[in-house]
Amino acid sequence: MVRLTKSQLPHNVTINSESDYRKGEVFNTLVSDCHGKCYICEDKPTTINVEHIISHRNDSALKFAWNNLFVACGHCNNIKSTKYDDILDPTQTDPEEHIALSIKITDDIKELVQVETLTDDASALLTAKLLGLVYNGGSTDIKDIECSNLRNSHLMPNIRLFYQYIRNYREEPDLYENMIRKEMNRSAIFAAFKRKIVKDDLELAKIFADELT
- pLDDT value at residue 57: 86
How much is the pTM?
0.94
Contact criterion met (CB below 8 Å) for 38 and 45:
yes
- pLDDT value at residue 105: 83
Domain with residues 18-80, CATH architecture:
3-Layer(aba) Sandwich (3.40)
CA distances from 11 to 31, 62, 142 (A): 19, 19, 43
Mean pLDDT, the chain, whole residue set: 94
- pLDDT value at residue 140: 87
Cα 135 from Cα 127, distance rounded (Å): 12
Cα 144 from Cα 134, distance rounded (Å): 9
Residues of the chain with pLDDT under 70: 108-109
Cα 171 from Cα 164, distance rounded (Å): 11
- pLDDT value at residue 12: 87
